[in-house]
């Protein structure tokens, strides 16, 4: 599609959206003047998804812009459409590959029926998810935000979704599966756009909120592995949702048992072993949850050598995606401080996982996770050739080159006032050699504790 064709197609998409919205105020939803523009809009979107996974529609300085192409020739229907976006509080709308006629129809209905003005983005997202819109999402204007800011917002949204879902189950309610699908799609998109930004957030541990943070972290790590596997988007989303909800069955256990700091008795462990089946049952009551996702939640403790729980029968075929969740679950658990265990460094965690490869963990997936995290995973503390100590904030582009590092302590061991991002590719003018090189890893316990959230804020600001 050349530039002229693209501009025409873009104008067509927006024109059809505006026409359907305008006619929605004059005719019933099933009338051809309402329905036909939606169908045409869907057809106009098809060519764009041949080489991209999403399409962004924004309002910038009073101008409607689709994929960077401004729409200047506004008809009355387009003006109405833009006015509705502005009054509701929608600076950016993202159409995802797989968007259906029903998605577009429901989105137009939302614009038509929503009378409130200036709604917060989370409220709009919640309403669209409640209505069943699965491949259209809304966000603040992405051009105004860096990737780390967007990643933090997406992570926070996923965290809130897990909190609501688990609390709903504890209160006897059935969670909304559409909301889990939505946040996983956002995380998946961010993993594809900037894997470091999402993976970095899995290193921000909150002991008091371990269950919720762990659920989001497992989802993010699983999505990173799924991307390297080259899985199709629907499969990636199913894996991500399974990661997000893999421990939902624990809501049926006593909190004292889940939080017990010491070794479990045989009877207590038998109770813990029930949570995959409980999760399987809970997901069966939720909308927008695929059967494959339910199976993965049931199987995530079956182990690669089939010695886990629930113990599979000899002829039982375990979903291979279950082993993705198991690898992500193990890595996040090992790198998190618990009341009964100290947190391992990323390298220590991966070393332990290599020993478990072929036993409880799929060896190929352990290798893929390691490749995804890089030689020095985000959050690894390192000593540089200058004797400064820093923390890895990003993996090399394309897996090659040097990781990104933020210096935390000077060569004398004194903490810096603020983390200082450095480029390891920078050369010393006098020798032509790299000014700084990584000598090796450092035990974080040998230095004052560092807030990863503060580090990320500094290097992304």
In angstroms, the CA 275 to CA 262 distance is: 19
Question: Is the confidence at residue 455, as pLDDT, over 80?
Answer: no
321 lies in the same domain as 453:
no
**CB-side neighbour CA atoms (13 Å) of 337:** 9
460 band by pLDDT with thresholds 50, 70 and 90: low
334 lies in the same domain as 292:
yes
308-326 pLDDT, tens digit each: 999 999 999 999 999 999 9
60 lies in the same domain as 153:
no
365-388 pLDDT, tens digit each: 999 999 888 888 877 888 999 999
138 lies in the same domain as 272:
no
Q: Tokens for 81?
A: 């459409």
- 198-203 average pLDDT score: 82
In angstroms, the CA 369 to CA 101 distance is: 37
- Range with lowest mean pLDDT among 228-237, 260-269, 364-373, 447-456: 447-456
Question: Is the confidence at residue 164, as pLDDT, over 60?
Answer: yes
Question: Is the confidence at residue 143, as pLDDT, over 50?
Answer: no
Quote the longest CA-to-CA distance of the chain: 76
Domain boundary among 88, 115, 143: 143
pLDDT value of residue 140? 66
CA 84 to chain centre: 29
Question: Is the confidence at residue 270, as pLDDT, over 60?
Answer: yes
In angstroms, the CA 156 to CA 89 distance is: 20
- Range with lowest mean pLDDT among 59-73, 178-192, 299-313: 59-73
Express as a percent the part of the chain with pLDDT over 70.
87
pLDDT value of residue 257? 85
240-259 pLDDT, tens digit each: 999 999 999 999 988 888 87
Greater confidence (161 vs 396) lies with 161
- Please tell me the total count of domains within the chain: 3
137 lies in the same domain as 160:
no
The pair phi, psi for residue 421, each rounded to 5°, is -70, 135
170 lies in the same domain as 226:
yes
319 lies in the same domain as 424:
no
Greater confidence (295 vs 83) lies with 295
pLDDT value of residue 77? 77
**CB-side neighbour CA atoms (13 Å) of 352:** 14
Question: Is the confidence at residue 212, as pLDDT, over 60?
Answer: yes
202 lies in the same domain as 325:
yes
Highest mean pLDDT among 29-33, 353-357, 390-394: 353-357
Question: Is the confidence at residue 228, as pLDDT, over 80?
Answer: yes
pLDDT value of residue 142? 47
pLDDT value of residue 180? 93
Nearest to 370 by CA among 389, 336, 395, 341: 395
Q: What is the mean pLDDT of the chain?
A: 85
151 lies in the same domain as 139:
no
> In which domain, by residue range, is 184 found?
147-373
pLDDT value of residue 296? 98
Question: Is the confidence at residue 155, as pLDDT, over 70?
Answer: yes
Domain boundary among 143, 178, 198: 143
- 165-178 average pLDDT score: 92
- 88-116 average pLDDT score: 89
* CB contact at 8 A, 75 and 15: yes
Domain boundary among 373, 396, 429: 373
In angstroms, the CA 84 to CA 157 distance is: 25
342 lies in the same domain as 355:
yes
Greater confidence (188 vs 432) lies with 188
353 band by pLDDT with thresholds 50, 70 and 90: very high
In angstroms, the CA 250 to CA 280 distance is: 11
Global pTM? 0.69
111 lies in the same domain as 226:
no
- 149-172 average pLDDT score: 89
459 band by pLDDT with thresholds 50, 70 and 90: low
Greater confidence (68 vs 313) lies with 313
pLDDT value of residue 144? 43
C-alpha separations of 391 from 70, 146, 415 in Å: 42, 20, 12
204 lies in the same domain as 290:
yes
The CATH code of the domain that includes 160 is: 1.10.3210.10
pLDDT value of residue 169? 95
């Amino acid at each position: 599609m050349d530039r002229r064709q693209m501009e025409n197609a873009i104008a067509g998409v927006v024109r059809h959206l505006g026409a359907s919205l305008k006619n929605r105020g004059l005719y019933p939803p099933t009338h051809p003047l309402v329905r036909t523009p939606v169908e045409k809009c869907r057809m106009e979107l098809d060519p764009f998804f041949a080489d991209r996974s999403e399409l962004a529609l924004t309002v910038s300085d009073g101008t409607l812009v689709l994929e960077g192409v401004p729409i200047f020739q506004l008809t009355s229907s387009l003006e109405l459409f833009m006015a509705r976006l502005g009054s509701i509080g929608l600076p950016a709308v993202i159409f995802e590959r797989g968007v259906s006629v029903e998605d577009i129809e429901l989105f137009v209905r939302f614009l038509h029926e929503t009378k409130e003005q200036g709604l917060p983005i989370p409220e709009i997202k919640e309403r669209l998810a409640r209505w069943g819109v699965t491949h259209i999402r809304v966000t603040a204007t992405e051009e105004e935000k860096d990737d780390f800011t967007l990643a933090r917002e997406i992570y926070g949204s996923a965290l809130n979704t897990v909190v609501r879902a688990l609390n709903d189950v504890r209160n006897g309610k059935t969670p909304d599966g559409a909301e889990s699908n939505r946040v996983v799609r956002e995380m998946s998109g961010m993993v594809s756009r900037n894997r470091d930004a999402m993976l970095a957030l899995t290193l921000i541990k909150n002991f008091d909120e371990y269950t919720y943070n762990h659920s989001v972290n497992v989802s993010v790590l699983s999505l990173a592995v799924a991307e390297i596997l080259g899985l199709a988007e629907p499969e990636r989303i199913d894996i991500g949702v399974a990661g997000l909800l893999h421990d939902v069955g624990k809501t049926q256990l006593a909190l004292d048992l889940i939080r017990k700091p010491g070794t479990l008795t045989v009877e207590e462990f038998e109770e813990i072993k029930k949570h995959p089946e409980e999760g399987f049952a809970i997901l069966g009551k939720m909308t927008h949850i695929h059967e494959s996702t339910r199976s993965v939640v049931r199987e995530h403790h079956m182990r690669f050598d089939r010695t886990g729980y629930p113990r599979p029968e000899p002829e039982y075929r375990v979903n291979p995606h279950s082993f993705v969740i198991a690898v992500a679950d193990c890595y996040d658990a090992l790198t998190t401080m618990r009341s009964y265990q100290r947190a391992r460094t990323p390298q220590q965690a991966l070393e332990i996982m290599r020993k478990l490869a072929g036993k409880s963990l799929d060896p190929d997936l352990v290798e893929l996770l390691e490749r995804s995290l890089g030689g020095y995973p985000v959050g690894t503390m390192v000593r540089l050739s200058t004797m400064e100590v820093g923390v890895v904030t990003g993996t090399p582009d394309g897996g090659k080159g040097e990781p990104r590092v933020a210096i935390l302590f000077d060569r004398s061991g004194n903490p810096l006032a603020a983390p200082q991002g450095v480029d390891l590719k920078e050369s010393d003018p006098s020798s032509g050699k790299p000014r700084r090189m990584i000598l090796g890893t450092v035990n974080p316990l040998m230095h004052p504790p560092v807030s990863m959230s503060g580090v990320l804020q500094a290097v992304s600001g």
